[in-house]
Chain A
Amino acid sequence: MNYSWNWGILFEAPYAEWLLSGVAWTIGLFAASMVVGFGVGTGIGLMRIAPIRWLRIISGIYVEMFRNVPLLVQIFIWFYVMPELLPSDVGQWLKRDLPMPAFWTSVVAIGFYTAARVAEHIRAGFLAIPAAQMQAALATGLNLRQVYRYVLLPRAFRIVTPALTSEAISVMKNTSLALTIGVLELMAQSRQIESYTFQSFEAFTAGTAIYIALCAAVVFVARHIEARYAIPGMIQSR
């Protein structure tokens, strides 16, 4: 292989700044998508197990729609198709006046997609709690809202922490798809450095290493949360 290595390029202007700016956009996409995904997902997950039939039906339809369509397809639908389907002035606003349209569209797409998956984890977490626990809490006079708030939710979240950690890592990696609609996040910047310098190995190695580091940071934080909320006397607390 006849290739002239130049790792130094990664630390030269303007490429170093490009990488840093890419990391910043990736983190921004990640943070906003997490808020949408975990927030909406928790709500949908609670609807999935609600004692009200039509809530279960609606949330079931949501989950099947959003987790069974590839994320890339969803991003394209939100970005290219949605503005045309909406009333023309709303569509106009989305296309012309919304600041950072590609960024927010990506956040909505990744967030809603993630929400469907988070909802299923939350539902599984609740189903893992024996029915008698809810009966015991109700028997003390707590109302249904209090039973969820103080007994079931805290237990369910502990059960699903490992699954939600994987979900958070997926969100981090899924942000790279935002490049397809023009968000200059880490993946886009790595490619841009490659096109400008033809140092493809260095550019993509840098991108890869940074994704690994970002995901490792997510795992690190998740481990801390797990340890912080570990229940004394149970296996996770050792």
Chain B
Amino acid sequence: MIALQNVSKWYGPTQVLRECTLSVARGEVVVVCGPSGSGKSTLIKTMNGLEPIQHGEIVVDGVKVNDPKTDICALRAHIGMVFQSFELYPHMSVRNNIALAPIKVLRRSETEAYKRTEALLKRVGLEGHADKYPAQLSGGQQQRVAIARSLAMDPKAILFDEPTSALDPEMINEVLEVMTQLAGEGMTMVVVSHEMGFAKSVANRVIFMDAGEIVEDRPSGEFFSAPQTDRAQQFLAKVLHH
């Protein structure tokens, strides 16, 4: 479904991704973790072409992302993305936040798109909030709207960029529950996250990054019980011991 081959990226003279190679199969849930500044967010944003790369190859759903001839909008239309800071459109109601892309990109009728919106809101536990505006919702609710917004495009995979990092502790679970439910339904997911509980219980694989490099790429059980590298051990010691 998603395959990266020797992907490297520089910001000016600084190399932020070093020869990253990984693949995500259909239906797989992969958690990407690592210290801040290790390139996790950059890596995930290369997968739908939000971050250009200078070297390597990325193939998503059979399409070369870094090929200038690729219709990148068409690719993005069926790869969802959820951001750390939600990034809902503040000037639009929840309904229009969710229905905008289905109407403008997939050319669905308003009636159809709005009907889907109601169903999606129900799915993320926000029935009856369609007429509210993002600023009238809590962080957890906003993030669930953002998930509904990506689901509205019937995505083949969803990329999550630290979806719970900006949330108050009591709101983290409501978002993780929706994500767990999605994983259970067989959605392909790449999740940049520090939620080790989620990684342990939901992820098939954990990828550990440090300094722009993929240091470990292992089934999640193995990663937590016996991390192979010192860097991963140190990282786990820091995030698990509290």
B76 within 8 A of A: yes
Which of B76, B89, B134, B137 is A141 in contact with, Cβ under 8 Å?
B76
Q: Which of A139, A146, A158, A232 has its CB near the most chain B CB atoms (within 10 A)? A: A139
Pairwise interchain contact A140-B134, C-beta atoms closer than 8 A: no
Residue of B nearest to A230 (CB): B91
Pairwise interchain contact A141-B153, C-beta atoms closer than 8 A: yes
B226 within 8 A of A: no
Query: Can you spell out 16 A-B residue pairs with CB atoms less than 8 angstroms apart?
Result: A130-B87, A135-B87, A136-B81, A139-B48, A139-B159, A140-B100, A140-B149, A140-B153, A141-B78, A141-B105, A142-B73, A142-B101, A150-B100, A229-B91, A231-B90, A233-B137
Pairwise interchain contact B73-A141, C-beta atoms closer than 8 A: yes
Task: Chain A residues near B239: list those with CB within 8 A.
Answer: none
Complex interface bits, A118-136 against B, C-beta within 8 A gives 1, otherwise 0: 0000000000001011011
Complex interface bits, A125-164 against B, C-beta within 8 A gives 1, otherwise 0: 0000010110111111111001000110011001000000
For window 80-120 of B, CB contacts with A under 8 Å fall at 80-81, 83-85, 87-91, 100-101, 104-106
For window 204-238 of A, CB contacts with B under 8 Å fall at 229, 231-234
* Bound CA–CA A146/B77 (angstroms): 13
Pairwise interchain contact A132-B136, C-beta atoms closer than 8 A: no
Residue of B nearest to A158 (CB): B91
- Given A233-B133, A233-B136, is A142 in contact with B91 using a C-beta cutoff of 8 Å? no
Main SS at interface, chain A: helix
Pairwise interchain contact A138-B76, C-beta atoms closer than 8 A: yes
**Residues of B in contact, count (CB < 8 Å):** 35
Q: Which of A143, A154, A229 has its CB near the most chain B CB atoms (within 10 A)? A: A143
Pairwise interchain contact A150-B104, C-beta atoms closer than 8 A: yes
Please tell me the size bucket of the interface on A: 20 to 34
* Bound CA–CA A169/B133 (angstroms): 32
B50 within 8 A of A: yes
* Bound CA–CA A116/B79 (angstroms): 40
For window 130-151 of B, CB contacts with A under 8 Å fall at 132-137, 146, 149-150
Cβ of A191 to closest chain B Cβ, rounded Å: 46
Task: Chain B residues near A140: list those with CB within 8 A.
Answer: 76-77, 80-81, 100-101, 105, 149-150, 153
Which of A135, A229, A233 is B134 in contact with, Cβ under 8 Å?
A233
Task: Chain A residues near B237: list those with CB within 8 A.
Answer: none
Pairwise interchain contact B100-A231, C-beta atoms closer than 8 A: no
Pairwise interchain contact B78-A137, C-beta atoms closer than 8 A: no
Cβ of B94 to closest chain A Cβ, rounded Å: 11
Pairwise interchain contact A141-B101, C-beta atoms closer than 8 A: yes
Pairwise interchain contact A137-B89, C-beta atoms closer than 8 A: yes
Cβ of A196 to closest chain B Cβ, rounded Å: 53
Task: Chain A residues near B48: list those with CB within 8 A.
Answer: 139
B45 within 8 A of A: yes
Residue of A nearest to B51 (CB): A135
Task: Chain A residues near B149: list those with CB within 8 A.
Answer: 140
Residue of A nearest to B134 (CB): A233
* Bound CA–CA A130/B89 (angstroms): 11
* Bound CA–CA A137/B162 (angstroms): 17
Task: Chain B residues near A138: list those with CB within 8 A.
Answer: 50, 73, 76
* Bound CA–CA A138/B137 (angstroms): 23
Task: Chain B residues near A232: list those with CB within 8 A.
Answer: 132-133, 135-136
- Given A139-B76, A142-B101, is A233 in contact with B135 using a C-beta cutoff of 8 Å? yes
Given contacts A146-B105, A150-B89, A232-B135, 7 further A-B contacts (CB under 8 A): A140-B77, A140-B149, A141-B73, A142-B101, A158-B91, A232-B136, A233-B136
Pairwise interchain contact B101-A231, C-beta atoms closer than 8 A: no
Task: Chain B residues near A234: list those with CB within 8 A.
Answer: 90, 133, 135
Task: Chain B residues near A130: list those with CB within 8 A.
Answer: 85, 87
* Bound CA–CA A127/B135 (angstroms): 21
Which of A146, A154, A155 is B104 in contact with, Cβ under 8 Å?
A146
Pairwise interchain contact A231-B135, C-beta atoms closer than 8 A: yes
* Bound CA–CA A234/B133 (angstroms): 9
Residue of A nearest to B146 (CB): A136
Cβ of A69 to closest chain B Cβ, rounded Å: 36
